[in-house]
Amino acid sequence: METLILPSRFENIEKVDSLSKDWDLVKLAIRPDCRDEKSIEKAQKAIEVGLNDAAINYIWNLAIYDLYRKIISYGIEYFSSAINWEGKKLNTIEDLREVKDYQIISGTFSLGIIPHEAHFFLEQCREIRNNFSTAHFPMGELDKIETFNFIKNCIKYVLTYDLPAPGLQIKELIENLSSEKLEKGEEICAIIENQSSKIHGPILHNLFSNYIKPDCNAILKYNVKLIAPSLWNIVSEDVKSSIAVKFASLREVKGKDGANEALSFLKLVNGVSYIPESYKEVIFKKHAQFLIDAHYEWNNFYNEPNFAKELDALGYEIPIASLNTYLKAVLLSYLGNCYGVSKDAQEYNEKMLLNLTQTGIRGLFRLIDQNVDIVRILSSPGPVNRIKSLMDLIKEKTMLPEQQKIFDFITKSSSRDIQKYFEEKYWKLAKL
């Protein structure tokens, strides 16, 4: 694993023996422009009177707000695309309050705003905050060491870092592509490809959105036609699927013209195969996302069953464009988290898993082997035991050799060996 490069100010945190006595050192580890935030003062007072659950909530809220600032600095248009945001358009820092914390963490990680190590520990902090802070009725009390580690991680992975430099500005890119026809697309494609892979998807999303507008600049449209096929080849399957889903949404919401332009774009990039049958993917993906959102909420064990039931009621002919989201939702709910699993949701999860086709089984193993969120969960003992149960559930399914290899490893290895395997795999995936 690569060594995390921290600002020199963070060294102050290593000198802290007591949060209540050495709070000035804690503040010195934080970026200067954040040190006077009221949340820091409130956290100090909470610690002095033993209210650790309140202290971590103040620090968490400040860390999340600082991630908002970093998103604005980097480019909020990238963030919207990175999380496939379907709500009200995100323009300002206030708009980001509508975004869930897990999406803030996921989006900033996807864009490279926070490092791979931060993704793991901030997710851990989010779960602690949801279950042990004053934000919700706590599961228990936090001791001094746990409180210190929580605060240290929020500072280490967010509050000590400066705001990021702006990414390749989409606004400027669109303006340049609208001003003059390109003779060849190779040069601009090379510039985009040499950017972080984290922003390839947001750039293509934005070009697609401009392309389908009824008043799209003719020069821009010409240039998009020139470069879009190359960009399509470098983005992920999730990006391709999400653009196909927007085609269906346009058909239902904005009418034939928008849908026709979207279809034109998909033909241009050889992406017609991603168009869903009868637009079912919109429904499947929406219900699957509901289950994913429920899973990440603090009271997920209570909320998941109803969403799992609704997803199961849609049947088992899953459109290919929705399959990844569908499988991720079912797998997250089935595996649970380090605190347990939603037992009442398992009846529906098991039915959905038992009815997977060969394509579904391939996608399931791909998530287990390659999805950073699933792999992270499988670095905890409880989910590891449940992945063994999952293998028993699908043991009669037809598997390809590489899938059989994963199956054999999970069924024949000890829980500790499986956990260690996924711990190591997580760090490898997080750095990609």
pLDDT digits (tens, 9 = 90+) for 320-339: 888 999 999 999 999 999 89
Q: What is the C-alpha to C-alpha distance for residues 318 and 326, in angstroms, rounded to an integer?
A: 8
Q: Residue 36: exposed, middle, or buried by beta-carbon count in 10 A (0-12, 13-18, 19+)?
A: exposed
Long-range contacts of residues 219-222, Cβ cutoff 8 Å, at least 24 apart: 219/177, 219/178, 219/179, 219/180, 219/181, 220/174, 220/177, 220/178, 222/181, 222/182
What pTM, to 2 d.p., does this model score? Answer: 0.70
Q: What is the C-alpha to C-alpha distance for residues 353 and 334, in angstroms, rounded to an integer?
A: 9
Sign of the CA dihedral running 7, 9, 11, 17: negative
First to last CA, the chain: 12
pLDDT digits (tens, 9 = 90+) for 39-50: 999 999 999 999
Question: Whose CA is closest to 237, among 329, 371, 333?
Answer: 371
Kindly tell me if the per-residue pLDDT of 276 is higher than 80.
no
CA atoms within 13 A on the CB side of 57: 15
DSSP 105-167: HHHHHHTTSS-HHHHHHHHHHHHHHHHHSTTS--SS---HHHHHHHHHHHIIIIITSPPPPP-
Sign of the CA dihedral running 79, 81, 85, 91: positive
Q: What is the C-alpha to C-alpha distance for residues 133 and 231, in angstroms, rounded to an integer?
A: 44
327 contacts 363 by C-beta, under 8 angstroms: yes
Average pLDDT over the chain, rounded to an integer: 89
pLDDT digits (tens, 9 = 90+) for 204-248: 988 998 899 888 999 999 999 999 999 999 998 888 888 887 776
pLDDT of residue 1: 46
DSSP 328-340: HHHHHHHH-BTTB
